[in-house]
Structure 1
Amino acid sequence: MAVLSLDHPWAFTFGILGNIISFMVYLSPLPTFYRVYRKKSTEGFQCVPYIVALFSAMLWIYYALLKPNSYLLITINSIGCVIEFAYIIVYLVYAPKKQKICTAKLLIVLNVGLFGLILLLTLLLSKGPDRVHILGWVCVGFSVSVFVAPLSVIRLVIRTKSVEFMPFSLSFFLTLSAVVWFSYGLFTKDKYIALPNIVGFVFGIIQMVLYIVYKKSKQPATIMEIKMPDTVIEIMKLGPTEKTFGVHPIIEHEHNSAQGDQNEHYDPNNEERTKEQFTTIEV
């Protein structure tokens, strides 16, 4: 990566913009966790997206520490680690015992076990530039996998012809984040940052186009006579950190075959919770 200085004003500018936008995306789940705190219940959603976002931020911090003059990557991903860890703590406080155990296991396996293994292997089996390249490709692979995760939501929107589970504002800011971090990678000549954000941009555009196509649909997904998946996982990505990752909560819905039964059991609070929880993460 080129040195960030007055000789590279665009790299510095896009890096600052990326930090600001990614920070806003990191804060997007706050309404959900305020609701959890207020109701003293996680209301059935899962913590997987936040654990993935934390893992992504940890990877990018490690990469930035190996790469000279990557201060802007270190700042936003350090902030991301703190925020995501706080979300996970709140979840563990109010989640049912079974979910607490599952979340703790996943946290240990992914953020301690897998990250520790990557750290150990790169330190023992590679040196200097080779270590940076190996870790860079690991970050690219993980970032791409996070960006592809919204395919489940895209498929759901097409099947139901409803954008109930895909807020336009979230898709817009994630797409903007991908553009900004791609530009940062381009001006700093860092392909490991630029490449995954191309994928993020493409999927972001697809989501916004689908929103425009289906936004006037009168068929709410909660009453359609279509068998919908029991769970939908949306992980959001915030630039080079995969924040995420964007990734987010698992939304659970019960669907009855008869519309009468559905109306009888319809809970408006459940719909509100669903919209609040649709978020995910990354840088």
Structure 2
Amino acid sequence: MTWLNIKEALATTASICTILQFLAGTLVCKKYFQKGTTGDSSGFAFVACYMSCSLWLRYGLLIGDSSVVLVNIFGSLLQLSYIIVFLTYSVKKAATLKQLSAATCFLVIVYIYCIYEDDKKLATERIGFLSCSLTILFFASPLIMLAHVIKVRSAETLPFPIIVASLVVSCQWFAYGCLINDLFIQIPNFMGCILSAFQLSLFLIYPTKQSNQSYML
């Protein structure tokens, strides 16, 4: 198998796994359908993910990578649909609408900048840095939950399937970033690998009560 074949195979599997990870939001929307309301939930996660996908889409266009472009087109559209569902069932729409408006304005500025920036290399570096920074913030967000897990000495509140999926996707994109020698793809996904692996280790260090009961039986 040639280097090009390995690159294409990795890009395909990484894209499929990322899309499947994005589809996890349908489970959240299903709960909204069933309850008829979003309750006290916040739509910020959907808005933030929409902004992240849109930035990575622009970065993918700048570097001419079809895999990055396609997966983030799908991600952007999917997150927008989640936002629409959230707004449909939300009683307090103002906060989410403000967040969506701010994110869209920011993205419009970024896209206009890319059009009028003559130095495409500089534009690529700046958009890559923005995309990378936002992704790192996403990976850092569970740290508050991890502090709670360590405090109560129980991993019950951690979503095991989501963490495993995050580890797989991060490892795939990190490997892909290494293959195409792109630090902006490598760095956030390497951090994602480390954080996901650390979260999984907590299931061994602080097993859930069910695990403890099974062990005692």
Q: Is the shorter-chain TM-score for this pair beyond 0.5, marking a shared fold?
A: yes
Q: Can you give the 5+ residue segments of structure 2 that lack an aligned partner in the other structure?
A: 211-217
Aligned match of 2:71 in 73, 76, 80? 76
Distance 1:164 1:30 in 2: 23
Aligned match of 2:33 in 22, 37, 41? 37
Distance 1:13 1:28 in 2: 23
Distance 1:66 1:39 in 2: 42
Aligned match of 2:54 in 44, 52, 58? 58
Matched, 1:89 2:84: yes
Higher RCO (C-alpha 8 Å, min separation 6): 1
Alignment correspondent of 1:187? 179
* RMSD over aligned Cα atoms: 1.6
Once the two structures are TM-superposed, the CA of residue 14 in structure 1 deviates from its matched residue by 1.2
Alignment correspondent of 1:230? none
**1:120-171 superposed Cα distances (whole Å, 9 cap, x missing partner):** 3344455222211121111111111111111111111111222232121111
Alignment correspondent of 1:105? 98
| AA aligned opposite 2:185 | I
**1:165-197 superposed Cα distances (whole Å, 9 cap, x missing partner):** 212111111011110000111111111111111
Is the contact between residue 123 and residue 131 of structure 1 (CA under 8 Å) also seen in structure 2? no
Large movers: runs of 4+ above 4 Å: none
Matched, 1:158 2:153: no
1:208-219 aligned at under 5 Å gives the runs 208-217=200-209
Q: Can you give the 5+ residue segments of structure 1 that lack an aligned partner in the other structure?
A: 1-5, 219-283
Matched, 1:128 2:120: yes
Distance 1:198 1:104 in 2: 33
Is the contact between residue 11 and residue 183 of structure 1 (CA under 8 Å) also seen in structure 2? no
Q: How many residues align?
A: 209
Is the contact between residue 114 and residue 120 of structure 2 (CA under 8 Å) also seen in structure 1? no
Alignment correspondent of 1:251? none
- State the TM-score, normalized to the length of structure 1: 0.70
- State the TM-score, normalized to the length of structure 2: 0.90
